[in-house]
Amino acid sequence: MRLLALLPLMAVAVAHVEHLEPRSQPGVPQPTPVDLRPLEWGDLNIISTTDTHGWLAGHVKEGSYSADFGDFASFLAHMRQQANYRRKDLLVVDSGDLHDGNGLADATNVSGTVSNPIFEKINYDALAIGNHELYLPEIAVDTYKNFAPKWGKKYLTSNTFIKDAHTNKTVPIGKLYNKFRMKFGTRVMSYGFLYNFVGAANNTIIEPANVTVTLPWFQKSLKEDVDVYLIVGHVPVRWAEAVSVINAIRAVHPSKPILLFGGHLHIRDFKAYDGRAFGLSAGRFMETLGWMSVSGIHDRACRVEANCIGKNLTVSRRYLDTNVHTYKTHSLSHRKQRFDTWRGRQITKEITKARKALGVSTVLGCAPQDYFLNRYPYTDSRSLLNLVTKEILPFSIVDKTRPYPTVVFINSGCQRFDVFKGAFTVDDTYIVSPFHDDFEFATVPYKVAKNLLNGLNKAPFQKRAEVQASSTNVTLTPGYVTNDDYGLGGDDWPHSPIPYVATPNYVSTDLPTGLGDNDLVDVAWLSFFTNLMAPLFKKLDPAGNYTIQPYRVGITTYEMWPIFAKAKWANATC
């Protein structure tokens, strides 16, 4: 028995390169395997996902991130088995944002109808709600009525509420907190926090985290005897909301271990709040998983908290690229062990079937080159925003029946991902441009039109999509290189960094040329930021009085891509 228990430990200590069997979704590329360092295990170990946004099929065009949710399920089954052999506790957590960003989630009438039941097949231990569960009232209701009940006590919404239309009462969408005991004895108190999100649907309420932590229920929960505090939060680990929850616990428990698993910024990050409180963000779009291990949690001397103030826990963190090689290397006990589990295979098959039924693999055309969202300045022909402003907006959005020349403005955040050379599918339309933002317009003199872009970019940043990651933390494919509180070294796969170029918050099509200041121009923009345009008109032309009307009704930032691809890219062969 003892020998048996040791076997898996010995095997994984030697990370190895091995033959890759084709897995994931049919036909997707696999990365060239590299040697990976074994993971460090602690008393408590956590696998974390965040901001999955429907990418349950994995990245069908990028080998590094090609594992699907079936592979993820197989990986977790083996990791749980390893935890059992090692007699260590293992938690699997998610920090929210299941909607907006992939055909599997968004190609249904109500986003998540097909993808949520697949997501629910993963046995998470704690989950948080994201802002993308709260933009639309029907998604908030679906989350409350269908998603949250599937998880019971594990779906944690300590500061997020919904007005129940039937009872007329305001209630938490999930549970306020959950205390539980793990297999190998770790006693956990868990909470779920959302950052101070403004712009949620009218039927929802987000309570500021710094208010929640003063409430009697929260303070009372801190009196329970536990070994560790776990916060799953749709909140960046460095934001004030995260810090306020850490501080509130620390104020009562001077040395109790606190672990926070955040998200929202779509970056990998790790923060040490003190020697016994840590936060981790796992990335986005099922590109990377977060891994954290913590030892010292069961230190008997720490039962008297004063004894352990300033006594550091032993902590490791790692960001794992989601491909089958990563999963096999870290989870299998020995080389010959079969990776696929029955459950994993079933999930993979279900995803393949769902993608087929939704038609997301249907090819609309052939992209002639790569277009990157943040790899080049947006004036560069390899930039996706360059393609959008130079070709897609003029072709798909500008109303050619109007008598005046037109300038179209969008916020750069409405575009979310790269386009790769080759087949451009229905899935890609959801991946690149998931939001259904409609347009409005006004006819203004050229002297106003020419100053609008500058004015918009000076306005306070109005966020609809996620803030783009900062240049110090993130690069794009072929891989991420992460610099966090423990420095470099958190990335599981070694990657070469690629420069990250920030884009202006707002971009536009070219101004018409050869016009006088008083010549008329149609300016069109997303209704999402009409609240910025109207004051700008007033500022640029105090005497002007412009009528704002809907523009190209029925055509949104989503439709502009299929319209363009079908017309301009359909005749090329990939």
Chain residues binding Zn ion by CB under 5 A are: 51, 97, 466
Between residues 98 and 364, which has the closer beta carbon with respect to Zn ion? Answer: 98
Between residues 31 and 58, which has the closer beta carbon with respect to Zn ion? Answer: 58
Between residues 386 and 557, which has the closer beta carbon with respect to Zn ion? Answer: 557
Task: Determine the 3-state secondary structure of 295 from DSSP.
Answer: strand
Round to the nearest angstrom and report the end-to-end CA distance of the chain: 56
Between residues 192 and 296, which has the closer beta carbon with respect to Zn ion? Answer: 192
The amino acid at residue 208 is P
Q: How far is CA 277 from CA 122, 250, 260, in A?
A: 27, 9, 8
Cα separation, 95 vs 234, in Å, equals 5
Give the residues across from 551 on adjacent strands. 439
| Minimum CB–partner distance for residue 568 and Zn ion (Å) | 30
Between residues 62 and 466, which has the closer beta carbon with respect to Zn ion? Answer: 466
H helical segments located in 123-282: 137-142, 148-151, 209-212, 216-221, 240-252
Helices and strands, number each (H, E), in the chain: 16, 22
Is the distance from CB of 81 to CB of 11 less than 8 angstroms? Answer: no
| Minimum CB–partner distance for residue 322 and Zn ion (Å) | 16
What is the per-residue DSSP string for 423-454? EEEHHHHHHH-----EEEEEEEEHHHHHHHHH
Is the distance from CB of 495 to CB of 383 less than 8 angstroms? Answer: no
| Minimum CB–partner distance for residue 99 and Zn ion (Å) | 9
| Minimum CB–partner distance for residue 346 and Zn ion (Å) | 28
Between residues 287 and 466, which has the closer beta carbon with respect to Zn ion? Answer: 466
Between residues 194 and 249, which has the closer beta carbon with respect to Zn ion? Answer: 194
Between residues 130 and 445, which has the closer beta carbon with respect to Zn ion? Answer: 130
| Minimum CB–partner distance for residue 244 and Zn ion (Å) | 21
| Minimum CB–partner distance for residue 96 and Zn ion (Å) | 8
| Minimum CB–partner distance for residue 200 and Zn ion (Å) | 14
| Minimum CB–partner distance for residue 415 and Zn ion (Å) | 14
Residues 6 or more apart whose CB falls under 8 angstroms from that of 402 comprise: 522
Angle, to 10 degrees, between the axis of helix 69-86 and the axis of helix 324-331? Answer: 10
Between residues 157 and 348, which has the closer beta carbon with respect to Zn ion? Answer: 157
| Minimum CB–partner distance for residue 232 and Zn ion (Å) | 14
Between residues 11 and 474, which has the closer beta carbon with respect to Zn ion? Answer: 474
| Minimum CB–partner distance for residue 131 and Zn ion (Å) | 7
H helical segments located in 323-388: 324-331, 342-358, 384-387
Q: How far is CA 414 from CA 58, 388, 430, 467, 549, in A?
A: 22, 11, 11, 11, 21
Residue whose pair of structure tokens reads 């360092």 in the numeric block: 37
Between residues 68 and 97, which has the closer beta carbon with respect to Zn ion? Answer: 97
| Minimum CB–partner distance for residue 265 and Zn ion (Å) | 8
Q: How far is CA 274 from CA 31, 231, 250, 317, in A?
A: 37, 16, 10, 15
What is the per-residue DSSP string for 208-219? -HHHHTTSHHHH
Q: β-strand 438-445 against 520-526: which pairing, if any?
A: antiparallel
